[in-house]
Amino acid sequence: MTKAARLLRDVFGFDAFRPGQKEIIDAVSTGENVLAIMPTGGGKSLCFQLPALLRDGVTVVISPLIALMRDQVRALQEAGVEAGALTSGNTDAETDAVWDALAAERLKLLYMAPERLAAGSVVHMLRRTNVSMIAVDEAHCVSQWGHDFRPDYLRIGELRRTLDVPLAAFTATADGETQAEIVEKLFDAAAPRTFLHGFDRPNIHLAFTVKNSPRRQILEFAAARRGQSGIVYCGTRAKTEALAAALREDRHSACHYHGGMEAEDRRQVETRFAREDGLIVVATVAFGMGIDKPDIRWVAHADLPKSIEAYYQEIGRAGRDGAPAETLTLFGPEDIRLRRSQIDEGLAPSERRAADHGRLNALLGLAEALKCRRVQLLGYFGEVAAPCGNCDLCDSPPEIFEATTAVRKALSAILRTDERFGAGHLIDILTGNQTDRIKARGHDGLPTFGVGGEFNRSQWQAVFRQMMGHDLVRPDPERHGALRMTDTARPILRGESNITLRRDTIASARRQPAVKAQVADEDAPLLSALKAKRRALAESARVPAYVIFPDRTLIEMAETRPADLDAMAQINGVGAKKLERYGAVFLEVITGTDETVHPVRRKLAGRAAGSVFDRLLAVQSDLARGPEGTDKPLSCSTSQLAKVAQLRPADSGGLERLLGERRAERFGGAFLDVLRAVE
Same domain, 374 and 268: yes
Between 611 and 666, whose confidence is greater? 666
Q: Which of 461, 494, 515 is the last residue of a domain?
A: 515
Q: The whole model's pTM is what?
A: 0.67
Highest mean pLDDT among 135-149, 408-422, 540-554, 591-605: 408-422
Give the model confidence (pLDDT) of 448-503 as tens digits: 999 999 999 989 989 999 999 999 999 887 777 789 999 999 999 998 999 999 98
For the chain, the average pLDDT equals 86
Same domain, 536 and 484: no
Query: Per-residue confidence at 9, pLDDT binned at 50, 70, 90?
Result: confident
614 and 583, same structural domain?
A: no
Instruction: Please give the backbone phi and psi of residue 502, each rounded to the nearest 5 degrees, phi first.
Output: -80, 125
Whether residue 594 sits in one domain with residue 499:
no
Contacts of 389-394 spanning 24+ positions with Cβ under 8 A: 390/202, 390/203, 390/204, 390/205, 390/206, 391/205, 391/206, 391/207, 392/205, 392/206, 392/207, 392/208, 392/209, 393/369
CATH number at residue 571: 1.10.150.80
Same domain, 458 and 544: no
CA distance to 211, 339, 422, 512, 520, per residue, from 516 (Å): 17, 17, 19, 12, 10
Residues 485 and 411 in one domain: yes
Let me know whether 420 and 379 are in one domain: no
Please, what is the end-to-end C-alpha distance for the chain in angstroms? 103
Residues 210 and 345 in one domain: yes
Domain residues for the domain of 413 are 400-515
pLDDT tens-digit map of 41-96: 678 889 999 999 999 999 999 988 777 788 788 888 888 899 999 887 778 888 88
Confidence of residue 512 (pLDDT cuts 50, 70, 90): very low
Helix 524-541 to helix 551-560 angle, to the nearest 10 degrees? 140
- Do residue 589 and residue 635 come from a single domain? no
| Domain CATH for 224 | 3.40.50.300
Please give the C-alpha separations between residue 483 and each of 35, 357, 425, 470, 549, in angstroms, as whole numbers: 37, 11, 10, 14, 28
Domain termination site, one of 603, 627, 657? 603
Q: Are residues 581 and 614 in the same domain?
A: no
How many independent structural domains does the chain possess?
5
Whether the pLDDT of residue 563 is over 90: the answer is: no
The residue among 196, 224, 258 that closes a domain is 196
61 and 14 in a common domain: yes
CATH number (domain holding residue 492): 1.10.10.10
242 or 666, greater pLDDT: 242
- 628 shares a domain with 486: no
User: What local confidence, expressed as pLDDT, does residue 189 receive?
Assistant: 63
